[in-house]
């Protein structure tokens, strides 16, 4: 069973482009779409509408920084402070180039900080490369289920 990719993104255009890019990378992983930080915490804790979700961690969390309700930094803080999720890769996928956002993200333990490219083709390639790296190429901790590309 492949672990899903958790995509936490509130911008409809960025969401559509990200899903398109992940689809083009031919990953077999399901993509779970979450639209705000509060919902992300519910998913990770398997509470609220996600109470009956399949157990286990995502292969990677693609996390926007500026989210409604609970921001991406608070979600990242929860992930890194949780024994269950602390080794789950988290990629901050954001339009913010502000130094304080980059510094704070790394202080909280983000695995990568990627600024969303403005150019459509660059955006598609960046997301595709991210998906392939974190879901296929990255060696997860022992005992984790590895993702595999579609044939």
pLDDT tier for residue 140 given thresholds of 50, 70 and 90: low
Q: What is the pLDDT of residue 97?
A: 87
- Three-state SS string across the chain, please? CCCCEEEECCCHHHHHHHHHHHHHCCECCCEEEECCHHHHHHHHHCCHHHCCCCCCCCCEEEECCCCCCCCHHHHHHHHHHCCCCCCCCEEEEECCCCHHHHHHHHHCCCCEEEECCCCHHHHHHHHHHHHHHHHHHCCCCCCCCCCCECC
The answer on pLDDT for 146 being more than 50 is no
- Average pLDDT (23-50) is 91
pLDDT tens profile 83-115 = 999 889 999 988 888 999 999 999 999 998 988
pLDDT tier for residue 62 given thresholds of 50, 70 and 90: very high
Q: What is the pLDDT of residue 7?
A: 96
Looking at every residue in the chain, the average pLDDT score rounds to: 84
Residue ranges and CATH numbers for the domains of the chain are: 5-137 (3.40.50.2300)
């Amino acid at each position: 069973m492949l672990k899903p990719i958790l995509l936490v993104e509130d911008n409809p255009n960025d969401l559509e482009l990200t899903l398109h890019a992940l689809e083009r990378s031919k990953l077999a992983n399901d993509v779970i779409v979450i639209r705000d930080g509060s919902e992300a915490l519910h998913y990770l804790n398997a509470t609220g509408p996600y109470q009956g979700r399949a157990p286990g961690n995502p292969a990677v969390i693609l996390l926007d920084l500026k989210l409604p309700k609970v921001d991406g930094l608070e979600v990242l803080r929860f992930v890194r402070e949780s024994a269950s999720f602390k080794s789950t890769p988290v990629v901050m996928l954001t339009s913010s180039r502000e130094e304080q956002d980059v510094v704070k993200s790394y202080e909280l333990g983000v695995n990568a900080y990627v600024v969303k490219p403005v150019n459509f083709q660059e955006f598609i390639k960046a997301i595709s490369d991210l998906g392939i790296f974190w879901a296929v190429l990255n060696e997860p901790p022992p005992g984790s289920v590895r993702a595999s590309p579609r044939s």
